[in-house]
Structure 1
């Protein structure tokens, strides 16, 4: 068994345990047992449980977001693609059991290792969104806005919109209109 296989087994076992039991209730020993390796082998690849969690979470997020990005790429209108991607990011906790478990545990215990995952996840979302907006700027369909600042603000705006705003029948249309006003290149008169 080569190193990549062992590391893959570690992350698969850890992801399964973190999803089922949460971070607080998962030990390095349980991860090793579930992965079918010795506890010492884990320390060859990772310094602690936080590193394992971060690796598991970011691998998981990158895979699921790539699928969401590919699905949104089918949309012809770049602003709709951006909105779909933003919506996916803001709803990850509702649709993804692994993310939902971490969100619930974070709300209850405010664990620093989960907060670290969320920060890395946000940085990843900002990078993907920056690339989308940059593409629109280069194509001439979007205004020349400061990146990554705009991407960061859009990610935060969408999270707040989905978590905190009291929506009605028109609010999704209004959000898209706001997005268009912020990003769409204005025609010279």
Structure 2
């Protein structure tokens, strides 16, 4: 078994444990046991649990976001694609079991290692959204806007929209209209 296989075992075991038990209740020893490897092997690849958590979380987020993007790849309306991606990233906290476990644990304990994951996740979302908007600007579908500031504000705006705004049957339509005004 080579190093990549061992790292994959560690990440799979840790993701399973973080999802089911949370970060606070998962130990390096439990990860090693679940992965079927020695505890020392984990320390060969990772310096601590935070490093493992970050790799697990970002691998998971990038895979699920890539799938979401593939599902909307046939969407012709660029702003509708942007809105769908924004909805997806804000829904991760409620619908994805791994992410929702971390969100719940963060709300209760404010663990800095989970906050670090969320910060990296937001940076990843801003990067993806920036590329999507930049592509639209390059193809003259969207007006020029400052990137990544616009992408960052859109990510934060969608989170607030989904968490705090009282929606009605026209809310998404109005949100899309707002995006169209922003980029025209």
- TM-score bracket, normalised by the shorter chain, equals over 0.9
Distance 2:149 2:72 in 1: 22
1:79 to partner: Cα distance: 0.6
Determine helix, strand or coil for the equivalent of 1:73.
coil
The residue number in structure 2 matching 1:180 is: 180
Distance 1:178 1:32 in 2: 49
Residue correspondence of structure 1 range 15-94 to structure 2 within 5 A: 15-94=15-94
Distance 1:74 1:106 in 2: 36
1:183 to partner: Cα distance: 1.4
Deviations 1:87-118 (A, max 9, x none): 00000012210000000000100000000000
Gaps of 5+ in 2: none
Gaps of 5+ in 1: 185-189
1:172 to partner: Cα distance: 1.2
Q: Which runs of 4+ in 1 moved over 6 A?
A: none
TM-score by length of 2: 0.99
Deviations 1:121-168 (A, max 9, x none): 000000000000000000001010000000000000000000111111
Deviations 1:52-110 (A, max 9, x none): 00000000000000011111221111011000000000000122100000000001000
Q: Larger deviation: 171-180 or 28-37? A: 171-180
Distance 1:104 1:183 in 2: 35
TM-score by length of 1: 0.96
1:169 to partner: Cα distance: 1.6
Residue correspondence of structure 1 range 101-140 to structure 2 within 5 A: 101-140=101-140
Distance 1:61 1:74 in 2: 21
